[in-house]
Structure 1
């Protein structure tokens, strides 16, 4: 199954052969493989001190090689600010100042859309801080960041990561403002929250600015289902139905093998947006349990076949 032309697709820097730490080497390898861009985890992966001249020179270097640059900003969760170390460091301990400085540095690279995640799966099940409270407080924090985004003409893309549903992300976007928030849609993650990828794609469609490419098998287990990673184009994702024409595409190899133990009533109760219809769609695509494909070299080779030049 051919998904998209490789020149339309960015690749995460960590997924390039050898996971080069040098950003110039990452751009060179991406170009050699035929990818149209590189997604870096943060501004500091390019300039540790946010030096405007260094960033502008790197932007010119990448443009000369016809390789685009995109960025993440890590994790933004009001109750997990310890995980926002780079933003805090950029602002000498002040998150808002660090966020503003990061937006300015991204602009020096020509980047005005930055991807963030809200947490990890364990956060959803944290008995000390209920997940709805984490979402409420994080929504308040994002509202405080919104003026800096508007001033910079930028947008923060909330990724459909393993801990959060598309329902929850859409509520965040609509409450804070679609002019400053958008969605980085990662279909292999929504299944972990019992969402059918096609239905999830429809929910987030008005706000999607980036789509992350990977694939997975859905397997039956004694506790329900499990997500097992597999080569792109060989899993359950119906990619032709998941790709709008104008979103950035990012090849992003996932590592976590995650369970969907919906036979557990307490676990299921933590998925209040889950529906019988979407669970049935997932179960219909499930097969016997099998070993995941964890070798990144094998997965990159398969992706190169699925993403022709």
Structure 2
């Protein structure tokens, strides 16, 4: 009994950092009620058999779930009543999803819980593809509706136990609990198909349907590899800052003083596959393409 208490019951009664006291008290009361009802179910199972016992067990289990949800709702409502603006800074105003700060707090708690119970946790980062092109071609309103379309799709296809948040203008993050990196591959495929299969409901009255694509990456947490939630979020693709690769100062000055070398560099950038053509031939081909396009 002492082993069961230390291994199963005591860790679940411990209060995670940052959790309100009322929520902790409600959770502990719900766990105590669940234990009492579990003992009652064993007593019913020993006393009765057949249909009557099954009905009593099912009714007590349903009552336990109902009371647990009610205690959670009362605790959350009391916290919000004391400070209505307490959680406003943790919600994205455009999509009504949790923002980056709430994601980091939740990720820290989920990582600590996963390390305690040795459960896998995976972080998926969803990025809207060609967002700037959509904004330039169709306007800021359509781009905002594309963001709402991706947010609604993520909420619709993600499990209730997982956590969906918005990182920035073009990226979302999903915490997948008890999910390995290999299992997250099916989720990434599902997100890609679900987003791209439905057109965006645009208010611009487009004559053709507008479809949005996403790029999804998933990374499983490894305590030996990452030092905390911030490094895990960064390696998963949530905080990577891409910097333009510039040549050294000496090389830039050398190219500036040699027009022929600069032309070759421009042609090489124009043909990234390595097929470097003469500058005059490349210029004629570009003029021919623009003439046919016009």
TM range, smaller chain: under 0.3
Pick 1 or 2: higher relative contact order, CA cutoff 8 A, min separation 6.
1
Higher helix share: 2
Higher strand share: 1
Q: Whose radius of gyration is greater, 1 or 2? A: 2
Q: How does the TM-score come out when normalised to structure 1? A: 0.24
